[in-house]
Amino acid sequence: MQFEVVDVPIPEGTNVIIGQAHFIKTVEDLYEALVNSVPGIKFGLAFNEASGKRLVRHEGNDEELRKLAIDVAKRIGAGHVFVIYIRNAYPINVLHAIGRVPEVVRLFAATANPLKVIVAEVEPERRGVVGVVDGHSPLGVEGEADREERKAFLRKIGYKL
Amino acid sequence: MQFEVVDVPIPEGTNVIIGQAHFIKTVEDLYEALVNSVPGIKFGLAFNEASGKRLVRHEGNDEELRKLAIDVAKRIGAGHVFVIYIRNAYPINVLHAIGRVPEVVRLFAATANPLKVIVAEVEPERRGVVGVVDGHSPLGVEGEADREERKAFLRKIGYKL
Amino acid sequence: MQFEVVDVPIPEGTNVIIGQAHFIKTVEDLYEALVNSVPGIKFGLAFNEASGKRLVRHEGNDEELRKLAIDVAKRIGAGHVFVIYIRNAYPINVLHAIGRVPEVVRLFAATANPLKVIVAEVEPERRGVVGVVDGHSPLGVEGEADREERKAFLRKIGYKL
Amino acid sequence: MQFEVVDVPIPEGTNVIIGQAHFIKTVEDLYEALVNSVPGIKFGLAFNEASGKRLVRHEGNDEELRKLAIDVAKRIGAGHVFVIYIRNAYPINVLHAIGRVPEVVRLFAATANPLKVIVAEVEPERRGVVGVVDGHSPLGVEGEADREERKAFLRKIGYKL
Amino acid sequence: MQFEVVDVPIPEGTNVIIGQAHFIKTVEDLYEALVNSVPGIKFGLAFNEASGKRLVRHEGNDEELRKLAIDVAKRIGAGHVFVIYIRNAYPINVLHAIGRVPEVVRLFAATANPLKVIVAEVEPERRGVVGVVDGHSPLGVEGEADREERKAFLRKIGYKL
Amino acid sequence: MQFEVVDVPIPEGTNVIIGQAHFIKTVEDLYEALVNSVPGIKFGLAFNEASGKRLVRHEGNDEELRKLAIDVAKRIGAGHVFVIYIRNAYPINVLHAIGRVPEVVRLFAATANPLKVIVAEVEPERRGVVGVVDGHSPLGVEGEADREERKAFLRKIGYKL
């Protein structure tokens, strides 16, 4: 078994969501989940069909994001994995809708940080995601002033009252 | 730490679902979730009790599937992992019901493809699932004709209008 | 890439829940999810901010549990991971509420068993959780007497009728 | 304001589900929710479009059930109400999937009992559902022997262990 | 058609939840949902079976609350309605767990306020809930000082940070 | 008992959502659910506190919508009812997030149609919602050409593929 680390580019203004599902209908259902969630969302998504024709299936309403999703899905190369890039929306707007898609098994990451996906290859063409590296390790522990700043920030941008 | 790759057999007509939960009640709750979901579903399920008597706990209404689930759970050998085999039903019929079981922590796979589970053993009798290999890697990228075929297929089998 | 196994202490009477989210608001939302779930719950939680100031963010209403959560989150050292210790409550009381928090991506473990977290470090300060070791491997398969005992136990403690 | 009581026929082997949604896409989304839930389910559904063309919109895979749904929706005559008849499946198999449809606002009934829908008409062509009469009033209170019989019945038909 | 207003007593320290479900298994599933939610919860619940023996089915772990639930369910007298009294817990602790019970169709009320249930009787022994009166009408509109007090109150009792 | 029909104005570009909850924290939790759902959403919301000070509690980020919500909540005058006006977003974007708010008991309507709320007053200051009139009654039954038009419309506006 070998491990490979796949880099996931995050263009300015985008977020990426990576997960695992289990049926070719996933592509169409994820498309619907995304357009149902946020008016004006832009996105591209790709899904690794794991049997039959074994194609990277894809949908979206933004060609740049669709190409990115296809490229990342292909480089991960693990069956039944999907990759979604979104713009004009954030993961908190769409994660629950994605979770309600009946084919979705689990999520690996939702982030705008530098992301790496750790993939295990157990034999040629047999790969699985084993983890993600989402951003960087912490440098220290929040103190009282940091906490006040955190709370004030969330209130300033309107997420909390 | 050593890695082991566990093969999961998928008899014709069955699907397997593998996940992680955290309490002995899981067995009974998963049983109920499955019978609530699809009339006539056949299934067997097994759960690795991780403390106390440390038995592979199991339930089901089909002895062949129950034996398969027990065997796979035992070979995975990681605490709190469960294995479910279903027949006369598909994962999309039952995944949400499984997710509503209060003990369920996460799912690793739901598939009818050739499946391998990657297990890490950090010391004797201390094991954890780190990933799954669900089917095979993609061979190419869907083109326009493939896309039309995909959409037509889902409509032919009645999943979409 | 190197693997590290992080030990998670479980003081008597506590349970630990470990997962992954994606936004600094997670800390406040997890706090609310926990206080909404069980009157009198005691808890501490920590979240590894993965960009910007990169601090271990934390909240809670019990200082011992808060310190434990901070310490475990720091030792795991993977971006966007959170650690929750609870007392006077069980994971089945809070898992669904945690899952409804809009930032939560996935859960890795919920347990009172001896727990180890397997972490991959792909470069310095770039780490990801790849699995957990939750308790110990099974020693055997449940027999009919074990099954009766299991069912009777759940009824004796009032979880089933 | 006048009240009208609408009778809902329940042919042998069917169940009816009545609810309220809010967008023409409801019809297609309910169709998908039902086919996703139970292999072999037979159903007909109708939805009262409340503005624009104001048609009873409908889908299904069983013409008898589709006609029944249209007829009941028309007689209820309240905007945004939907009616679903199912066969080869039970409400517990589909209620959660219906609840995940993004347009669904609420459910009024799910039953195989004699059903009446109470409708208020506040002016011509302006109607709303105010309640349902689902079966008949209780005749007495369960005693200990009734309770044992209830528990035994659920275990005999396999819903509980 | 006649309307009847049923008074629902709320003893000090209790909350009541009233809803509608559709199968005799409801009683056992609601029991489990409640014990799964809050350690030490005390409750009584009753469900109006709407066909067959037509008994007020009931469960619970507190005899006073069970009797209250039976009495209110009987006086409402509408088929498939359930009544739950809880103590040592609040509706926010249990509402989502009740909503995940596969038989539950809808909720009418969850409150500690003086409660009245409006019931329509369309013919003898055919009744349906049409609404609830939960507490009293507002006396005015919140001003800025009231808003500050509201926010401070929620933070003082620990629900918000 | 008297019935009153309350008119709900729907300014161009807005949708209204009306429901029932049960605790003063509802106001703040609904605020958070809405800002979590759609970037740039504009809204106003009001909630009828049903005991204590009995004020129409309110929040929002658009003063016109907040005033509308307060006015409608006051005229409905039923305890524990809430009214939400949204702009730059649609009910399908927010209904599930509202449903996850732990205080929410049920929804009565989500619509951009002319809306009337039917209120019962059982005694002075004791009121309850019994139904809504959402748009108008259907004028006919969808034919095959209407169906094709419906399907084409949903695909033209991007909701379906």
Each residue of C11-35: pLDDT tens digit?
A: 999 999 999 999 999 999 999 999 9
D135 part of contact set with chain A, CB < 8 Å: no
Nearest to C127 by CA among C80, C71, C68: C80
| Contact yes or no for F135 and D51 at CB 8 A | yes
Give 10-residue mean pLDDT values along chain A (161 residues): 97 98 98 98 98 98 98 98 98 98 98 98 98 98 98 97 96
* Partner chains of C (3+ C-beta pairs under 8 Å): A, B, E, F
Task: Tell me the β-bridge partners of E43.
Answer: E86
Average pLDDT, chain C: 98
- Kindly report the CATH number assigned to the domain that includes residue A51: 3.40.1520.10
Q: Residue A94 domain-assigned?
A: yes
Q: Residue F129: which pLDDT band, with cuts at 50, 70 and 90?
A: very high
Q: Residue B75 domain-assigned?
A: yes
Q: Residue A92 domain-assigned?
A: yes
Q: Using alpha carbons only, how large is chain C's radius of gyration in Å?
A: 17
Residues of chain B with pLDDT > 90: what percent? 100
D24 part of contact set with chain A, CB < 8 Å: no
| Contact yes or no for B56 and C142 at CB 8 A | yes
Judging contacts by C-beta atoms under 8 Å, the chain D residues touching residue E66 are none
Q: Residue E150: which pLDDT band, with cuts at 50, 70 and 90?
A: very high
User: How many interface pairs between B and D have CB atoms less than 8 angstroms apart?
Assistant: 47
Distance to chain A for F159, nearest Cα, Å: 6
Q: Is E112 helix (H, G, I), strand (E, B) or coil?
A: coil
F161 part of contact set with chain D, CB < 8 Å: no
Q: Are E32 and C159 within 8 A, CB to CB?
A: yes
Mean pLDDT of D80-101: 98
- Written as six digits, the tokens of A16 are 């990426």
Q: Is D8 helix (H, G, I), strand (E, B) or coil?
A: strand
Judging contacts by C-beta atoms under 8 Å, the chain F residues touching residue A28 are 161
Q: What pLDDT, on a 0 to 100 scale, did the predictor assign at position F10? A: 98
| Contact yes or no for D93 and B31 at CB 8 A | no
List the Cα angle C110/C115/C118 in 5-degree steps: 100
Q: Residue F161 domain-assigned?
A: no
* Partner chains of B (3+ C-beta pairs under 8 Å): A, C, D, E
Q: What pLDDT, on a 0 to 100 scale, did the predictor assign at position E111? A: 98
Q: From the candidates E84, E119, E134, E159, which should be mutated to test the interface with F, based on the most F CB atoms within 10 A? A: E134
Q: Is C19 helix (H, G, I), strand (E, B) or coil?
A: strand
Pick from C36, C97, C102: CB nearest F36: C102
Judging contacts by C-beta atoms under 8 Å, the chain E residues touching residue C59 are 161
Q: What pLDDT, on a 0 to 100 scale, did the predictor assign at position F160? A: 98
| Contact yes or no for A100 and F96 at CB 8 A | yes
Per-residue pLDDT of D14-62, as tens digits, reads 999 999 999 999 999 999 999 999 999 999 999 999 999 999 999 999 9
- Written as six digits, the tokens of D78 are 């309240």
Q: Are F133 and F115 within 8 A, CB to CB?
A: yes
Contacting D residues, span 37-96, partner chain A, CB-CB under 8 Å:
none
Q: Residue B107 domain-assigned?
A: yes
Number of domains comprising chain B: 1
Q: Are D118 and D26 within 8 A, CB to CB?
A: no
Parent domain of F23: 2-156
Q: What pLDDT, on a 0 to 100 scale, did the predictor assign at position C120? A: 98
Q: Are F99 and F26 within 8 A, CB to CB?
A: no
Q: Are C80 and A111 within 8 A, CB to CB?
A: yes
Judging contacts by C-beta atoms under 8 Å, the chain F residues touching residue A93 are 36-39
| Contact yes or no for A93 and F38 at CB 8 A | yes
Q: Are E120 and D130 within 8 A, CB to CB?
A: yes
Q: From the candidates F25, F30, F31, F32, which should be mutated to test the interface with C, based on the most C CB atoms within 10 A? A: F32
Judging contacts by C-beta atoms under 8 Å, the chain B residues touching residue D59 are 161
Ranges of beta strands (E only) in C24-64 are 42-48, 55-60
Q: From the candidates B80, B82, B98, B119, which should be mutated to test the interface with C, based on the most C CB atoms within 10 A? A: B80
E1 part of contact set with chain F, CB < 8 Å: no
d(CA E12, CA E15): 9
Count CB atoms within 10 A of the CB of residue B120: 24
Q: What does each C-alpha distance from C143 to B31, B68, B85, F32 come to in angstroms?
A: 17, 16, 20, 50
Place of tokens 């609404």: E131
Distance to chain A for C125, nearest Cα, Å: 5
| Contact yes or no for C102 and A118 at CB 8 A | no
Per-residue pLDDT of E12-68, as tens digits, reads 999 999 999 999 999 999 999 999 999 999 999 999 999 999 999 999 999 999 999
Q: What pLDDT, on a 0 to 100 scale, did the predictor assign at position E43? A: 98
| Contact yes or no for A25 and B136 at CB 8 A | no
Average pLDDT, chain A: 98
d(CA B34, CA B45): 10
Pick from A5, A106, A141: CB nearest C55: A141
Judging contacts by C-beta atoms under 8 Å, the chain F residues touching residue A37 are 37-38, 93
Q: Are A129 and A108 within 8 A, CB to CB?
A: yes
Residue type, C145: A
Query: In terms of CA atoms, which chain F residue is nearest residue A33?
Result: F159
